Amino acid sequence: MTDELFRDDSYLRDCDATVVEIDNGALILDRTVFYPLGGGQPGDTGNLSWAGGSAAIVDTRYGDGGVIRHVLEEGATMPAVGDIVHAVLDWDRRYRHMRMHTAMHLLGSVLRYGVTGGNISAEKSRLDFDMEDTVDKEAVGAALLKLVTEDHAVSCRWITEEELDAQPELVRTMSVQPPRGKGSIRLLEIEGVDLQPCGGTHLHSTAEVGTVRIGKVENKGKHNRRVNIHLDD
Ligand SMILES: [Zn+2]
């Protein structure tokens, strides 16, 4: 398994690592700061360099057995297994994902309905809610900005599966249940606002979300309201 440095510190922008395996245009490293596609958040992109070469990383995905695959641009030169490489994130893009992802948690705490889907990108993000009511865009936008302005601390902690089973209300996302079988589950806590199982990368404080705005609200069926959000910078 790849050592996931971004789990403990989502603000790491680069790291040194050793090439463990080369698999069909993708590199598997012993450790990485690159987040792999999951939980609605895109895989990271960036750059890899080593003695004698460099290449762009165009996507990051989980492979079999919990390894993380760094997908290189087509036709890229490759380091060799055992080589030390320096991996650098496209930090601007990743930081927007962190702002968006944290904003999604805030949105979910404002609209307290079941979440049936979601997607994050650097430009816009969306959450699908299991609700019949009309979404009051202005009120939701104002509530969101209030949570940003109040600057709540954001942190992660781990609980056991038994502790989670004792508090089923923690799981608001109905389509995405937290991964089981590892014994412990990662919880994302926004102090006084939200507590949810989540494996993504987040900010340290809600103030960093910045200028978030509610975009289009779409009716996707009787029981589904899709709420889009944007960052205005
Ligand atoms: Zn999250």
Rounded distance from Cα 51 to ligand 1 centre (Å): 36
Rounded distance from Cα 79 to ligand 1 centre (Å): 33
Rounded distance from Cα 189 to ligand 1 centre (Å): 9
Q: Which of 67, 231, 226 is nearest to 148 (CA)?
A: 231
| H/E stretch holding 175 | none
pLDDT in tens, 35-89: 999 989 999 999 999 998 999 999 999 999 889 999 999 999 999 999 999 999 9
Percent over 90 (pLDDT), the chain = 74
The two three-digit tokens of residue 63, written as one number: 């492979």
**Model confidence at 166, in pLDDT bands (50, 70, 90)?**
confident
CA distance 225 to 214: 13
DSSP, collapsed to helix, strand or coil, labels residue 216 as strand
| Overall pTM > 0.85 | yes
Rounded distance from Cα 209 to ligand 1 centre (Å): 13
Rounded distance from Cα 184 to ligand 1 centre (Å): 16
Percent over 70 (pLDDT), the chain = 94
DSSP state, 6? H
State residue 198's pLDDT score: 87
Rounded distance from Cα 166 to ligand 1 centre (Å): 21
**Model confidence at 171, in pLDDT bands (50, 70, 90)?**
low
CA distance 173 to 176: 6
Rounded distance from Cα 56 to ligand 1 centre (Å): 27
The better pLDDT of the pair 58, 185 is held by 58
Lowest mean pLDDT among 73-77, 119-123, 168-172, 217-221: 168-172
